[in-house]
Structure 1
């Protein structure tokens, strides 16, 4: 991945160095690249107006934080947010961190593991900006980003080290909602799918103290062809829940 650097931009230079992005001093003739625009790290494609960034302060995340339904949301119910429970959650496939941010806004501490350097850099920038905003600083303080391969990270993690492990595999082919949003289609096209998603389930069940929650399209097959212990169906998605391994 290439990253456009502006003269004197210390943050951009630091991000490029840590994630191994090739520095650019002008936009490439074609292809994807990263750049800072209006203080935000964005993914873009030459000749295309679409932009991808992680924004926890404004837009959809702000609307969901204020009006999303609180602990009555399907993801909150699936993770086990009832009463005063605030489980420690491992989001093993963080992506753009949307569900992780919802859970953190509801009181959970969330560790986000993301192996794609592009996705991790976008997430890091989103968390950086959220930590600077009065409305989201407390939420960002409950979120910790780890740039690592999820499968290996789970295999190396201590048993029963998180209350809940959350898995939301990305599929190579965008669903109908993604096709209607050019930004999401761009993100998926670059990041790709999670072909090893099935392999995450068993180590996740070893790491979880309470349950593993897998987010799936409503009609998608079970992860690893394994029937969940219980599920939370919705209109377009469902949450399959698996009990920990002894």
Structure 2
């Protein structure tokens, strides 16, 4: 099932990047406008910092993908290397750097961490607007002297997760990574602007349960599901084991050990 954005009023704002603006508007089937208008919920705007998504009501600044700065740089430099929970969850140990298929890539944060630690990562993001932000970030990241080699090991595939997995050809990924959107109630301060905007655009991933079943069929070694710490098991399918943090956990489903011959 593809993510539907027909309930969202979206436009591209003309900002002097004419060819990029026209191409993006065509891809998303949205208009190019001269200036922001309250007729729309969100605008997409190209600047020297890249493509940004902005809520017209001004509740937050632009959301964009930048692998060379901000949170991505902090996680790369100070995140803890292969001692991080996400690295342990995918089975990283010694010289093992498994191939990863991240089928709910979002803005690519976890995928970038895994790529920075040496894992080849293929990403899938079905939501068209989020995919556009990720594609723009990858294009800029490849040109950056500090992260260009890392970003070069990250590949973005077109399509939704189920269709990508069902039509997979060639060598299967060793690990499939799932971080489905979880329904959220309340207005916790921990809900960051990216997540709040994602919920407006996407809602929750109602088809996450079938994703797990298909992932278990395709992954050669394991499936890793990132969940809020108190969330129920995805598809009521109990994992082999968990790694728990303060607010999130990783549920690990093992098909085969990396030490197996």
Query: 1: distance between equivalents of 2:131 and 2:102?
Result: 13
Cα pair 2:174 2:221 within 8 Å, conserved? yes
Answering whether residue 160 of structure 2 is matched by residue 140 of structure 1, we say: no
Cα pair 1:93 1:167 within 8 Å, conserved? yes
Answering whether residue 53 of structure 2 is matched by residue 43 of structure 1, we say: yes
Deviation (angstroms), 1:132:
1.2
Structure richer in helix, relative to its length: 1
Aligned in 2, Cα 1:206/1:153: closer, same or farther, shift over 3 Å?
Answer: same
**Residue in structure 1 matched with residue 162 of structure 2 by the alignment:** 151
**Residue in structure 2 matched with residue 10 of structure 1 by the alignment:** 19
**Residue in structure 1 matched with residue 172 of structure 2 by the alignment:** 161
**Residue in structure 1 matched with residue 29 of structure 2 by the alignment:** 20
Mean CA deviation greater in 14-23 or 72-81: 14-23
Aligned in 2, Cα 1:94/1:183: closer, same or farther, shift over 3 Å?
Answer: closer
Q: TM-score, normalised by structure 2?
A: 0.87
Query: 1: distance between equivalents of 2:78 and 2:84?
Result: 10
Q: TM-score, normalised by structure 1?
A: 0.92
Deviation (angstroms), 1:160:
6.2
- Deviation readout 1:7-52 (Å, 9 max, x if unpaired): 4532232333334333223222242111113331111122305221
1:128-207 to structure 2, matched below 5 A, reads 128-158=139-169, 161-173=172-184, 176=188, 178-179=190-191, 181-207=192-218
Mean CA deviation greater in 20-29 or 105-114: 20-29
Aligned in 2, Cα 1:178/1:43: closer, same or farther, shift over 3 Å?
Answer: farther
Answering whether residue 135 of structure 2 is matched by residue 117 of structure 1, we say: no
**Residue in structure 1 matched with residue 102 of structure 2 by the alignment:** 91
Query: 2: distance between equivalents of 1:160 and 1:201?
Result: 19
Mean CA deviation greater in 24-33 or 131-140: 24-33
- Deviation readout 1:139-171 (Å, 9 max, x if unpaired): 110001123111122222248610100000012
Cα pair 1:2 1:24 within 8 Å, conserved? yes
Structure richer in strand, relative to its length: 1
Gaps of 5+ in 1: none
Query: 2: distance between equivalents of 1:20 and 1:107?
Result: 37
SS of the residue 1:128 aligns to: helix
Aligned-residue RMSD, C-alpha? 1.9
Cα pair 1:34 1:42 within 8 Å, conserved? yes
How many positions carry a matched residue from both structures?
A: 244
Query: 1: distance between equivalents of 2:223 and 2:232?
Result: 16
Query: 1: distance between equivalents of 2:124 and 2:36?
Result: 30
Of residues 244, 249, 253, the one that matches 1:233 is 244
Aligned in 2, Cα 1:8/1:74: closer, same or farther, shift over 3 Å?
Answer: closer
SS of the residue 2:162 aligns to: helix
